[in-house]
Amino acid sequence: MTKVPNRFLVFHNPQVTRSQQIADEINLRLQDKPGLVSTTMLISELDHNANYNADMLLAVGGDGTMLRVGRIAAQMDCPVLGINLGEVGFLPQIPENDWQYAIDRILKGDFELEPRMLVHGELIRNGNQLISQHALNEIVVTRGALARPIRLETKVDNAALANYVADGVIVSTPTGSTAYSLAAGGPILPPNLRNLVVTPISPHLSMGSSVVLSEGCTVTIVIRTNYEAILSLDGQLETVIMDGDCVRVRASSRNCNFVRLQDPNYFYSDLSERMSIKGREHK
């Protein structure tokens, strides 16, 4: 049994069909319970500098919604429950039609918390830190609009890993191993692990295999290009980077606590089901 929350913040995404409707229904259900406080909010209104007064966050949408809410949940050290309205949805674990069952379980304290590792990324230019951000899925250094590979001098701690000539490099968490990293040929890791996965994107005449690193490693990527390159966090926060810039990625000190209602081995059956869905979509 887990402590029952009594203050909820329900985020919805206007770009996802029925997101606001489901969020409003959840909000009414919670407000109908004595002693509970619940508020809905547009995902676009989410402010990472705000101090939200909540014991649990709910993300009603798909993977993108869950990523945005998950980062703020980790910052608040507040658990997050995902209601899946997306087509596949690896991150939100509760199907749309099961939200009432999920809420009932939560209000009984009948749920577990599953800590998910985040990564922390820094952008260093001429010795100055320009960006310091956390990501739940991955941090990516990639080429810009021009279809030209970039050179990425990549180290693990102080040891050279590879001088990639590639479209980019992905550094993902175990949670992110089923996302962009997987599409680039990376391995799938169970989300409870604490590893970094380094995966090159379309490497040219350089090491093409992914490398799985321990939690304590720091990945340093120095960009060598005469063209535009991009630093991306969770595919949502993007910054233009340039020749000589340095990106450092390590395991974050923060966790994102996912609310889990399923059996501890749910990941493998869910993975099989979702991969089958994606396979059918491509037929």
Residues recognised as catalytic: 63
Burial of 159 (0-12, 13-18, 19+ CB in 10 A): exposed
How far apart CA 153 and CA 242 sit, in angstroms, is 13
Contact at 8 Å (CB) between 254 and 118? yes
**Which two three-digit tokens encode residue 11?**
């985020």
Q: Are strands 128-135 and 195-201 parallel, antiparallel or unpaired?
A: unpaired
Query: What do you get for the CA distance between the two ends of the chain, in Å?
Result: 43
How far apart CA 137 and CA 234 sit, in angstroms, is 6
- For residue 30, the tally of other CB atoms under 10 A from its CB is 23
How far apart CA 96 and CA 86 sit, in angstroms, is 9
What distance separates the 2 farthest-apart alpha carbons in the chain? Answer: 64
